[in-house]
Amino acid sequence: MELGAYYSMVMSNLMLVLTVSMVSATYLLMRKMRGKKRLPPGPGLALPLVGHLHLLREKPLHVTLAGLAARHGPVLSLRLGRRDAVVVTSLRLAKECFSTELDVNFANRPRFPSAREVSFGYTGLSAASYGPHWRSMRRIATVHLLSARRVDLMSDATIAGETGAMVRRLARAAAAASGGVTRVELKRNLFELSHGVLMEAIAGAKGTRDGSDADMSKEAHEFKKVVDEIVPLLGMANLHDHLPGPLRWLDFGGVRRRLTELVNRRNALMHGLIDAERQRRPQEDHATDELLPESKSMIGVMLSLQESDPQQYTDTFIAALVTNLFGGGTVTTSATMEWAMSLLLNHPDALQKAREEVSARVGHARLLSREDLPHLPYLQCIIIETLRLYPAAPLLAPHESSADCSLHGYHVPAGTMLLANAYAIHRDPSVWDDPEEFRPERFDVNGADGQGQQGMMMLPFGMGRRRCPGESLALRTMGLVLGTLIQCFDWSRVAGAEVDMTQASAKILYKAVPLVALCKPHDNMQTMLHKI
């Protein structure tokens, strides 16, 4: 080895040692200073640079965190790379965080580098910190875009139309199959339906399938592909977000480069929708600050607001909100419906009970409608029990404290990330009888066990100020779709084998193995299915 090369290698190693030593000394000094106040318990001394990240290698993350909580208590302190974090795994502590004065303190979001890329510079509804911008975006979402009236209209037209289209495709596939029974990959069908509902509601776009019977349109397939590749790169799911600034520039695993490429593809889709809607709008349509007609698409509503206040409602504002609505309303709703059908197939008695309820209420001469849902309590129990066992966001979107506070008698410094483990809370044996079992009856308010009120003890849509504004739309969609699938078809498992309930390791609680089931039109629905 040449002397110059050897000298360069020695100096490089020396600089690395000095850097690690300085970071470690700074970290230990900060912990010592903060140690004067009683922090929540944790799993021992954190390692330099990575903190406790080495303890989180097992997947899924929400299961690992539940295991740590079982050893250290329902409020857990962790060091995740450069961030302090607190994890809560009890309903009482979640309520303390999100239904008391602490809710305002925990209303911020941590600023992950990946979130900057995905959320248009932290301006999206889910990533923006608490303040005027977030309140404005939240108001638009709840008052103009996801109001009760708009959800009702979407139920009667958009959701019903997409559900009818899916039923028609399944019926045609079964008719063409041997024995009148077809194999169906429900994940694709349910995603396409959820995407179609939002595509029409948000952008006013119809006919994305071009009249074909394909499982998924090209446009929906592209969007799904982008979302599926983005999700594993976000937040708690990657090391890149937790490393100190200088180390992040090394771009371990090419996270930053890959994320930039995917976000550019997604943004092109979103801006294309905005431009298309702008071209469709009548030139004479002028907006006011008053409540706008629900008949407009959501982008149309925001473009009308843009005319009255272009500085506030920019194209970036619209794209950020549209992206949140698509991302939050497609994968989460379709994933939950896939879990529900999987549970029903593994519990045929529950499936039969649901079919009998739907048949008694709706009959066989028409498809289930929005007006039927309040009269189908067991169907609602199935949905709630599915959300309990498999919440779409098992770790609620992370919060961050804006000031020092006290939680459960422990000190939580400003800037601490708060994670609420909904998955663990929903399976807490101190709250739920037989928490691992699928028992929809536990939510029956008229049931013999009298446990119907436990429906109030869950947080699949979050709690407090940051609660998901799309909750009503999601529940309505799931009720109409699941009820119609149960009404129209006989469902069974492939070769009688138990449905695989393994969970994927992702920010969204997906099934690791997509659900494939056997579908046959229900005998009493044959005449009706020929009409749609």
Give the confidence band of 161 by pLDDT, cuts at 50, 70, 90: very high
pLDDT, position 112: 87
Give the confidence band of 452 by pLDDT, cuts at 50, 70, 90: low
pLDDT, position 133: 94
- Report the range of poorest mean pLDDT among 52-56, 206-210, 441-445, 483-487: 206-210
Burial class (CB in 10 A: 0-12, 13-18, 19+), 16: exposed
- Report the range of poorest mean pLDDT among 31-35, 60-64, 280-284: 31-35
Give the confidence band of 219 by pLDDT, cuts at 50, 70, 90: confident
Residue 254 has pLDDT above 80, yes or no: no
Mean pLDDT of 123-143: 94
Q: Give me Rg for the CA atoms of the chain.
A: 25
Mean pLDDT of 37-51: 88
Mean pLDDT of 201-226: 68
pLDDT, position 364: 93
Residue 248 has pLDDT above 80, yes or no: no
pLDDT, position 4: 40
- Annotated binding-site ranges: 468
Give the confidence band of 282 by pLDDT, cuts at 50, 70, 90: low
Residue 411 has pLDDT above 90, yes or no: yes
Ordered DSSP codes for 404-453 = -EEETTEEE-TT-EEEEBHHHHHT-TTTSSSTTS--GGGG-TTSTT--GG
Which of residues 218 and 296 earns the better pLDDT score?
A: 296
Ordered DSSP codes for 483-519 = HHHHHHEEEEEGGGPPPP-PBPSSSS--BSS--EEEE
- Annotated binding-site ranges for heme: 468
Residue 129 has pLDDT above 70, yes or no: yes
Which of residues 232 and 429 earns the better pLDDT score?
A: 429
Mean pLDDT of 225-229: 85
Q: Which domains does the chain have, with CATH numbers?
A: 137-531 (1.10.630.10)
- Report the range of poorest mean pLDDT among 243-252, 347-356, 362-371: 243-252
pLDDT, position 10: 33
Give the confidence band of 107 by pLDDT, cuts at 50, 70, 90: very high
Mean pLDDT of 302-329: 92
Residue 455 has pLDDT above 60, yes or no: no
pLDDT, position 14: 37
Residue 449 has pLDDT above 90, yes or no: no
Residue 183 has pLDDT above 60, yes or no: yes
Percentage of residues of the chain with pLDDT beyond 70: 84
pLDDT, position 318: 95
pLDDT, position 7: 32
What's the pLDDT tens digit per position in 256-273? 888 899 999 999 999 999
pLDDT, position 208: 46
DSSP tally for the chain: helices H, then strands E:
20, 9
Phi, psi of 418 (to 5 degrees): -110, 125
Measured between its terminal Cα atoms, the distance across the chain in Å is 79
Percentage of residues of the chain with pLDDT beyond 90: 64
Instruction: Report which of 50, 418, 87 is spatially closest to residue 239, judged by C-alpha positions.
Output: 50
| Token digits of residue 210 | 């071009």
Mean pLDDT of 165-172: 94
Mean pLDDT of 352-369: 96
pLDDT, position 29: 46
Mean pLDDT of 86-104: 95
What's the pLDDT tens digit per position in 108-123? 999 988 888 899 999 9
**In whole angstroms, what is the distance from residue 501 CA to residue 304 CA?**
46
- In one-letter notation, the amino acid at residue 116 is R
Residue 289 has pLDDT above 80, yes or no: no
In DSSP terms, which residues pair with 490 in a beta bridge? 520
What is the total residue count of the chain?
532
- Report the range of poorest mean pLDDT among 208-212, 279-283, 316-320, 456-460: 208-212
Mean pLDDT of 118-136: 94
Residue 232 has pLDDT above 90, yes or no: no
CA atoms in the 13 A half-sphere facing the CB of 140: 27
**In whole angstroms, what is the distance from residue 325 CA to residue 414 CA?**
30
pLDDT, position 448: 54
Instruction: Give pTM, 2 decimals.
Output: 0.88
Tell me what the pLDDT averaged over the chain comes to: 86
pLDDT, position 291: 41
Instruction: Report which of 151, 150, 127 is spatially closest to residue 137, judged by C-alpha positions.
Output: 127
Mean pLDDT of 236-241: 68
Residue 361 has pLDDT above 90, yes or no: yes
pLDDT, position 234: 77
What's the pLDDT tens digit per position in 333-354? 999 999 999 999 999 999 999 9
